[in-house]
Homo-oligomer: A and B are copies of this chain.
């Protein structure tokens, strides 16, 4: 049973802590059109409108553009429950980011007291502009392991052109050596292949995101599951994707048996 109670702009403005002008604006751009108008043309908002406004303000607080917000809320696949859950996730993330910023302030304080300088890369942790678009597009469909993805984004944004060249070369070298092994008919579970797999893992760990053996195995699975990766591997050796996958799994197993 839904009570059909209406609110005028002024009332909504007080409730939500926004200005009347903001509501006018949302109406004009079609983001929040009140579900009713009085005889005299007064805007009348019902509970559904308020709930939508709540979500709008929440997403705005998280720096999404009104345009993006509109798309999210009007998405055909929009499901209220999962939307709310997603929002909670975003808020948790923000808490983590804020925590990092606080950490930065603390470091600045100790640096000040000890008259030292802060580490230049730590300095802006949590303060970088987060690229919402990429987040939306990419994270939305594939890649599953979102934490790794995000950390990867965070780190790689700092890399300059030279860095990229060097890192890419390092990665290519490992892949080339694996391709050579495959061409020579070596075993994926052999010593040489496993060592190269381990090198690959360290490469990722150093330049992209913390990569445990478990994470590495998950990655290996993706190499055969995701067409984008498949293409990359097949270009430098037929069957390389599965070969690398096996080598990584063998390496992970070896690491576990050692500990």
- Contact, CB under 8 Å: A124 / B15: yes
A50 CA / B117 CA spacing, docked (Å): 10
A18 CA / B124 CA spacing, docked (Å): 10
Known contacts A61-B127, A101-B58: A81-B160 contact under CB 8 Å: no
A47 CA / B108 CA spacing, docked (Å): 12
A17 on the interface (CB 8 Å rule)? yes
Known contacts A105-B88, A112-B80: A15-B57 contact under CB 8 Å: no
A14 on the interface (CB 8 Å rule)? yes
Cβ–Cβ < 8 Å partners of A95 in chain B: 95, 98-99
Cβ–Cβ < 8 Å partners of A57 in chain B: 124, 127
A50 CA / B94 CA spacing, docked (Å): 23
A61 CA / B98 CA spacing, docked (Å): 10
- Contact, CB under 8 Å: B17 / A124: yes
Cβ–Cβ < 8 Å partners of A120 in chain B: 15, 50
A128 on the interface (CB 8 Å rule)? yes
Cβ–Cβ < 8 Å partners of A99 in chain B: 95
Known contacts A81-B112, A101-B58: A121-B91 contact under CB 8 Å: no
Cβ–Cβ < 8 Å partners of A88 in chain B: 102, 105-106
Residue total for A at the interface (Cβ-Cβ under 8 A): 51
- Contact, CB under 8 Å: A91 / B108: no
In the complex, which residues 86-129 of chain A have their Cβ closer than 8 Å to any Cβ of chain B? 87-88, 91-92, 94-95, 98-99, 101-102, 104-106, 108-109, 112-113, 117-118, 120-121, 123-124, 127-129
A16 on the interface (CB 8 Å rule)? yes
Q: Nearest chain B CB to A100's CB is how many angstroms away?
A: 10
Q: Nearest chain B CB to A95's CB is how many angstroms away?
A: 5
Known contacts A61-B127, A112-B81: A117-B17 contact under CB 8 Å: no
Cβ–Cβ < 8 Å partners of A101 in chain B: 58, 61, 91
Encode contact with B along A19-44: 1 for CB under 8 Å, 0 otherwise.
10000000000000000000000000
Binding site for B on A (CB under 8 A): 2-3, 10-11, 14-19, 47, 50-51, 54, 57-58, 61, 80-81, 84-85, 87-88, 91-92, 94-95, 98-99, 101-102, 104-106, 108-109, 112-113, 117-118, 120-121, 123-124, 127-129, 157-160
Q: Given A15-B120, A57-B124, output 5 extra A-B contacts at Cβ < 8 Å.
A: A15-B121, A15-B123, A16-B127, A19-B129, A54-B124
